[in-house]
Amino acid sequence: MYQALVGQMCKHLVQLEHWLDATVAYAESKKIDADRFLDFRLAPDQFALARQIQITCDTAKLGASRICGKDAPVHADTEKTIAEIKTRVEDVRAYLAHFGAVDYDGAALRVITQPRWEGKTMTGADYFLEHVTPNFFFHLSHTYAILRHNGVPLGKRDFLGPLTMHAPA
């Protein structure tokens, strides 16, 4: 299950890269600097686009690495351009692609904790379903919503990406 969910996250990160390409094309058509979008946000006390994308990446990266008991590569959150943030997304996708079925052995029962949890723990299963999955989609959807709110032409198919459909029998 975790491998399937992480696989879906990788697909959504590919879609996110397409959204960034669409943002650059849209900005060019309006003769504005595409990197300006990185500072846009939906509410004064919500994160701006760049941070939404960084957290989307970190949620997938740390979610997979923690339930598999591995150390994840560190990203410094210093991206200032669409090109740099796209490289971040690509890096995380490449990292996640290395996880195979065997890496998820024991993931459901692994004990997960974080410094700010003050010693409390979650099982890998609960952590992935209750924390990682909703957080990933929260920040992914906010990324999409910030772009749509600011005029980038995207639709639901750009959000979902390709579906595994079978031709009529």
Enumerate binding residues for its own copies (CB under 8 A): 1, 4-5, 8, 11-12, 42-43, 46, 117-123, 125-126, 129-131, 133-135, 137-138, 140-142, 144-145, 148-149, 151, 156, 159-161, 163-169
Closest contact distance (angstroms) between CB of 145 and its own copies is 5
The amino acid at residue 109 is: L
Residue 68 or 146: the one with the smaller Cβ distance to its own copies is 146
Residues 6+ positions from 69 with CB-CB distance below 8 Å: 106, 110
The CA-atom distances, in angstroms, between 111 and each of 4, 6, 74, 103, 148 are: 21, 19, 21, 15, 39
Residue 44 or 78: the one with the smaller Cβ distance to its own copies is 44
Residues 6+ positions from 80 with CB-CB distance below 8 Å: 35, 38, 50
Closest contact distance (angstroms) between CB of 8 and its own copies is 6
Closest contact distance (angstroms) between CB of 103 and its own copies is 18
Closest contact distance (angstroms) between CB of 73 and its own copies is 24
Answer for the pair 65, 71: CB distance below 8 angstroms, yes or no. Answer: yes
Residue 83 or 160: the one with the smaller Cβ distance to its own copies is 160
Residue 84 or 126: the one with the smaller Cβ distance to its own copies is 126
- Show the tokens assigned to 90: 């690509």
